[in-house]
Structure 1
Amino acid sequence: MREENDVDILKQHLLTSVRKLNLGRKWVFQLDNDPKPFCHNFESMLKDNKVKVLEWPSQCLDLNPIEHLWSELKRRVRARRPTNLTQLLQLCLEEWARIHPTYCGKLVEGYPKRLTQVKQFKGNAIKY
């Protein structure tokens, strides 16, 4: 995706999502530290909207719960051994629907423990 698309998506949906989720004013935006979207327009959009951005080590997948969620989805789909693209899509949708919200909650709840471990390992990968 091009950086302009990232900015457009955020302009259209970020603040609306914050309001719908009733996050109030004390929310923090987490980037995946991909250098691509951090163009001038992207930084300006965040600054203009007074978006507080979480500072965290780049390429630190252990601190990003969505990375663990993607890993779980891949593991589940791989176990079902899709044989073509159509089947892959179908299995992804089925397995995504089977991931219980409590699993996502556990990923978020485990964040403090992972953060402590990442600090101990000075930003290197941890066993998770």
Structure 2
Amino acid sequence: MDINPKHNSKVVAKWLKDKVKVLEWPSQIPDLNPIERLWAELKKRVRARRPTNLTQLHQLCQEEWDKIHPTYCGKLVEGYL
């Protein structure tokens, strides 16, 4: 809903309350979104290796992606990192 005024009108709020279970979740806050945090980690790792062309960028992305351990992803989901 992204804090958009049209989603906060009384008519829409009533319809949502009657028809949809709205989850209490902050909108577009990358710090709380595990996928955004994972992409940020990948970007940081690739940037540190300084790719000089598109082919190298692609290769480094794959290499760094493979180095990210599944437990790191689990911790992101749990909110510990």
TM-score normalised to structure 2 length: 0.66
Per the TM alignment, residue 60 of structure 1 is displaced from its structure 2 partner at its CA by: 1.2
Whole-angstrom distance in 1 between the partners of 2:61 and 2:23:
30
- Pair 1:87-2:45 in alignment: no
Query: Which stretches in structure 1 are left out of the alignment for 5+ residues?
Result: 1-32, 36-51, 112-127
- What code does the residue aligned with 1:56 have? W
Superposed CA deviations along residues 25-58 of structure 1, whole A, max 9, x for unmatched, are xxxxxxxx6x9xxxxxxxxxxxxxxxx7744222
- Pair 1:99-2:81 in alignment: no
RMSD across aligned C-alpha pairs, in angstroms? 2.2
Match of 2:30 in 1: 61
Map 1:66-81 onto structure 2 (within 5 A): 66-81=35-50
Match of 2:78 in 1: 109
Match of 1:3 in 2: none
Whole-angstrom distance in 2 between the partners of 1:75 and 1:101:
18
TM-score normalised to structure 1 length: 0.43
Whole-angstrom distance in 1 between the partners of 2:69 and 2:22:
28
Aligned length: 63
- What code does the residue aligned with 1:71 have? A
The percentage of aligned residue pairs carrying the same residue is 81
Larger-Rg structure: 2
Query: Which stretches in structure 2 are left out of the alignment for 5+ residues?
Result: 5-20
Superposed CA deviations along residues 96-124 of structure 1, whole A, max 9, x for unmatched, are 0110001011111226xxxxxxxxxxxxx
